[in-house]
């Protein structure tokens, strides 16, 4: 039987230990562990990689600790605009949504775009009409509200600045969430979901819903979910770049993902990290920031939940 495995992230950045209380850190660790265990249980029962990554991301979206679903950051007008994408490494089918609001689990809408529409990417009002047609229940803004993120927004509201989740002048943290998995049949999948950046305007969309930039899966090479400064990850076509280095330069999963995160994206000026899995269940989780909320579990008995380097 193929080694099966799952890896997740809850964002990368300057996760300075000093601003994290022991209590809060325990909450983050508990949510990450619970997410891995539930995703892994799906794979163990013979579920598909797509099922596992969707479920893992839903759990992270439901936690207010992360910038996706409940707890998403505020836009310049005080609203929520969420982005998500999912890709099946076996069929190369993909689905993505951006600039949506009121949807409890954006990742499920992305999966529905993949499976129930002729399209790959639906945005804004159109994506909302699609959700309505599928009878999605809409949550009001109060459901997504998180006091900490509201305070963050009030600090820069009415200015031209926009910032990554939890960033202060010096410290930044990206709270996007993602999952990658390889199932018992050796099929891979990737899923990514985010509220984007605090105080973003003009319909700004980052890398998370963009296939090839923030999310990609192909059994031939790897499945990837990214977190970081989206503008740079888009320009670096980061997720697909890792796959290309494996396919065309014969690099291993680890070599390819480290090359992109520690060299190529840094040279462009971007920071962040990614999680990656291949069809043999190998995992890599490089990041060029101080920390990245992350975890993984494999059928070889390896398991880890970590935050800092």
CA dist., res. 94 & res. 96, Å (int): 7
Q: Is 208 in the site for ligand ASP (CB under 6 A)?
A: yes
CA dist., res. 289 & res. 6, Å (int): 22
| 41 half-sphere exposure, CB direction, 13 A CA radius | 8
- State the alpha helices, DSSP H only, in 175-264: 230-235, 238-249, 253-259
In the residue annotation, 221 being an active-site residue is answered as: no
Query: C-beta of 4: minimal distance to ligand ASP in Å?
Result: 26
Which of these ranges, 47-55, 92-100, 206-214, 293-301, lies near ligand ASP under the rule CB under 6 A? 206-214
Find the binder of ligand ASP among 176, 193, 218, 288 (CB under 6 A): 176
Question: Strand pairing of 121-123 and 303-308?
Answer: unpaired
Query: C-beta of 67: minimal distance to ligand ASP in Å?
Result: 6
Draw the binding track, 65-94, toward ligand ASP (x: CB under 6 A; -: no contact). --x---------------------------
Question: Strand pairing of 94-100 and 303-308?
Answer: unpaired
Smaller CB distance to ligand ASP: residue 43 or 96? 96
Q: Is 209 in the site for ligand ASP (CB under 6 A)?
A: no
Burial class of residue 263, CB neighbours in 10 A (0-12, 13-18, 19+): exposed
| 268 half-sphere exposure, CB direction, 13 A CA radius | 21
Q: Is 295 in the site for ligand ASP (CB under 6 A)?
A: no
Give the residue closest to ligand ASP by C-beta: 230
Residues that bind ligand ASP (CB under 6 A): 11, 67, 164-165, 174-176, 194, 196-197, 206-208, 214, 227-228, 230
Q: Which residues are catalytic?
A: 176
């Amino acid at each position: 039987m193929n080694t099966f495995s799952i890896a997740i992230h809850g964002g990368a950045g300057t996760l300075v230990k000093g601003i994290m209380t022991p209590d809060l850190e325990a909450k983050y660790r508990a949510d990450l562990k619970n997410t891995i265990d539930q995703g892994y249980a799906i794979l163990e029962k013979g579920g598909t990689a797509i099922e596992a990554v969707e479920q893992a991301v839903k759990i992270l979206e439901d936690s207010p600790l992360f910038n996706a679903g409940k707890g998403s950051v505020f836009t310049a007008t005080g609203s929520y605009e969420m982005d998500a994408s999912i890709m099946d490494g076996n069929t190369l089918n993909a689905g993505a949504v951006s600039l949506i609001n009121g949807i409890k689990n954006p990742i499920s809408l992305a999966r529905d775009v993949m499976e129930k529409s002729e399209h790959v990417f639906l945005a804004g009002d159109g994506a909302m009409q699609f959700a309505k047609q599928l009878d999605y229940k809409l949550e009001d803004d109060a459901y997504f509200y998180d006091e900490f993120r509201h305070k963050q927004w009030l600090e820069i509201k009415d200015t031209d600045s926009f910032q990554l989740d939890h960033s202060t002048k010096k410290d930044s943290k990206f709270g996007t969430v993602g999952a990658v998995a390889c199932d018992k049949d050796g099929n891979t999948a990737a899923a990514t979901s985010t509220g984007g950046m605090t105080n973003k305007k003009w319909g700004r969309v980052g890398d998370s819903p963009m296939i090839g930039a923030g999310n990609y899966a192909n059994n031939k090479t790897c499945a990837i979910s990214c977190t970081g400064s989206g503008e740079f990850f888009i320009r670096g076509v980061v997720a697909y770049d890792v796959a290309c280095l494996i396919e065309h330069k014969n690099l291993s999963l680890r070599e390819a993902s480290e090359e992109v995160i520690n060299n190529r994206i840094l040279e462009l000026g971007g920071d962040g990290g990614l999680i990656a899995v291949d069809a043999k269940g190998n995992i890599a989780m490089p990041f060029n920031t101080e920390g990245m909320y992350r975890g993984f579990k494999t059928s070889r008995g390896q398991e880890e939940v970590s935050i800092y380097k």
